């Protein structure tokens, strides 16, 4: 969990239009909650990166995602929990991209998992309904481990006329 859920933004003038202003954390938090697809970067045991798209929910000041225990990302996380999650728009002249750096920590508390399972259904629909059993999600695809990533650093990249790079440190 971040120490301060409303960190102060820092605009980097090297990568920002002179008229740009730092983005506000409340707007960034809302973007994290609304984003449907994220790209997760993990590190393989031998040090090579692994990147994969996935869905995630923003809850309790952290991004949460799930994965099967035998999937590459779960195996990578068993050796190294440091991750990067990215989301944004695939255009150059408009939109806002986000990069979230932090440590993926396994969630096993069943009450918290039930709340996250409800959040998945609320955000993504009934196809993403999970039961909670033995500290994990259980669904049609089998067991899924759930991880939380409380941001350590977040970068926001405003695109368009007033491009800008904002950083938040927790």
For residues 6-26, give the mean pLDDT. 92
Q: What is the pLDDT of residues 63-91, one digit of tens each?
A: 999 999 999 999 999 999 999 999 999 99
pLDDT of residue 8: 87
What length is written for the chain? 170
Q: Which residue has the tokens 């939109």?
A: 95
Q: Is the separation of the CB atoms in 37 and 53 below 8 Å?
A: yes
pLDDT of residue 3: 46
Q: What is the pLDDT of residues 33-44, one digit of tens each?
A: 999 999 999 999
Domains and CATH numbers, the chain: 10-169 (2.30.110.10)
- pTM of the prediction? 0.94
Which tokens sit at 51? 């990147």
- Give the closest residue to 25 by CA, choosing from 159, 160, 155: 155
- Is pLDDT of 25 > 80? yes
């Amino acid at each position: 969990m971040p120490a301060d859920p409303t960190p102060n933004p820092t605009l980097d003038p090297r990568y920002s239009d002179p008229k740009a202003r730092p983005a506000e954390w409340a707007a960034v938090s809302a973007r994290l909650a609304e984003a449907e697809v994220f790209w997760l970067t993990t590190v393989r045991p031998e040090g090579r990166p692994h990147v994969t798209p996935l869905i995630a929910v923003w809850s309790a000041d952290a991004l949460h995602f799930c994965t099967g225990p035998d999937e590459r990302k779960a195996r990578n996380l068993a050796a190294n929990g440091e991750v990067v999650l990215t989301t944004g728009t695939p255009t150059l002249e408009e939109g806002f991209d986000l990069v979230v750096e932090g440590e993926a920590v396994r969630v096993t508390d069943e009450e918290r998992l039930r709340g996250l399972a409800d959040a998945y259904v609320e955000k993504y629909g009934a196809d993403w309904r999970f039961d909670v059993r033995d500290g994990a999600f259980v669904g049609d695809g089998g067991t899924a481990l759930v991880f939380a990533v409380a941001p350590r650093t977040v970068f926001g990249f405003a695109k368009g006329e007033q491009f800008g790079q904002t950083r938040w440190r927790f």
